Amino acid sequence: MELVPNFSLLPYNTFGLDQKAKAFYSVNDENELLALLSKIKDNIYVLGGGSNILLTKDVDGIVLHNNIQGITILEQMNGSTLVEVSGGVNWHEFVLFTLSKNLGGLENLSLIPGTVGAAPIQNIGAYGVEQQDNFVYLEYVDLETLKKYRCYKADCGFGYRESVFKHALRQKTFITKVAYNLTETDHVLHTEYGAIDQVLKEKNIDNPTIKDVSNAVISIRQSKLPNPNEIGNAGSFFKNPVISQNQFEDLQTLYPMMPFYPLNESNVKIPAGWLIETAGLKGYRQGNVGVHNRQALVLVHFGNAKGKDVLDLANHVIDSVFKKFQIELHPEVNIW
């Protein structure tokens, strides 16, 4: 069991930034993790696929990469199936596994990069579905006490791109496995969000299966989102802001074309991509980083930049949007 010192994280973050970790270790099972933790006294940073982090400097600590593999079908009862997945499994490969078993629930979350262990951290979501909709429990090792815990949904504090693991338990856990309850029959499909219905219609699919919905999501994502293998990015850099009904009404008078999604009687979600685009920043380039020219919510790295350059650009976007709309954008990406 050897820690690799002075390790470049270049292949381990989708922004493609070349920052180093003091030491690195790829964890293959839970016993290995516990043995390692009992010896380490440094700061610990847990890493999955590196698709939701921005490395702004070298990491002053030990990076533990989650590579724990395995999917187990635990229980099949009353038309649903409980599946337990190890944290290092690639999320999209897990979704493909569920589709191959005709298990419904995760089809809208197809092609999201990263690992299963990271999915609960920001309660990943897309096209009207969040991982919490099928989530049952997760297991984690407390990085300080080395104790193992099982955390059920009610204790995870899931919200819009939120969980307790981004707050009270931030950087305190290593999530080893997650369990989801999926439907075997009578799948309830969510096709009304984004262009899913339109894509299904174009393909003349009247009675879609979960595989059809997954394929539609995959094709929409491939046509809209920059591929991190081609250009560095971490998906949406900012969360969609939620503003008060009063502020919304004032803004709507000024910008009648502003898209909006009411969350309840007093709060409205505004797409951050529209705010950034309307602030004139879609396609904006600052040195070797920029705002993507098709999806303004995504910041991109053209090569040879530092994480600090991305952070400076993010701050410029935040300032510009605030000046124009008095709305504060908050990063969704974890800044290291």
List of residues contacting ligand FAD (CB under 6 A) = 14, 45-53, 66, 87, 112-115, 117-119, 121-122, 124-126, 173-175, 225, 228, 233-235, 334
Q: Which two tokens stand for residue 216?
A: 């539609």
Note whether 88 and 69 are within 8 A (CB): yes
State the catalytic residues: 161, 236, 332
Q: Which of 321, 4, 150, 84 is nearest to 331 (CA)?
A: 321
Tokens 């994502």 found at: 221
Give the CB-side neighbour count of residue 29, counting CA atoms within 13 A. 2
CB of 53 vs ligand FAD, minimal distance in Å: 4
Of these partners, ligand FAD, ligand NAP, none, which one is at the site of residue 101 (CB under 5 to 8 Å by kind)?
none
Report if residue 193 touches ligand NAP, rule: CB under 6 A.
Answer: yes
Residue from 236, 289, 306, 311 that binds ligand NAP (CB under 6 A)? 236
Write the single-letter amino acid at 314. Answer: A
Report if residue 294 touches ligand NAP, rule: CB under 6 A.
Answer: no
How far apart CA 103 and CA 189 sit, in angstroms, is 12
Dihedrals φ, ψ of 295, to 5°?
-135, 100
Q: Which of 308, 277, 127 is nearest to 213 (CA)?
A: 127
Report if residue 295 touches ligand NAP, rule: CB under 6 A.
Answer: yes
Q: Which of residues 265-284 bind ligand NAP (CB under 6 A)?
A: 271, 273
Dihedrals φ, ψ of 315, to 5°?
-65, -35
Residue from 148, 224, 294, 330 that binds ligand NAP (CB under 6 A)? 224
How far apart CA 117 and CA 127 sit, in angstroms, is 21
Considering only 23-31, 199-207, 233-241, 286-294, which stretch makes contact with ligand NAP by CB under 6 A? Answer: 233-241
Beta 20-27 vs 59-66: how paired, if at all? parallel
Residue from 79, 203, 261, 319 that binds ligand NAP (CB under 6 A)? 261
Of these partners, ligand NAP, ligand FAD, none, which one is at the site of residue 174 (CB under 5 to 8 Å by kind)?
ligand FAD
* Residues at the interface with ligand NAP (CB under 6 A): 125-127, 193-194, 224-225, 235-236, 240, 261, 271, 273, 295, 332
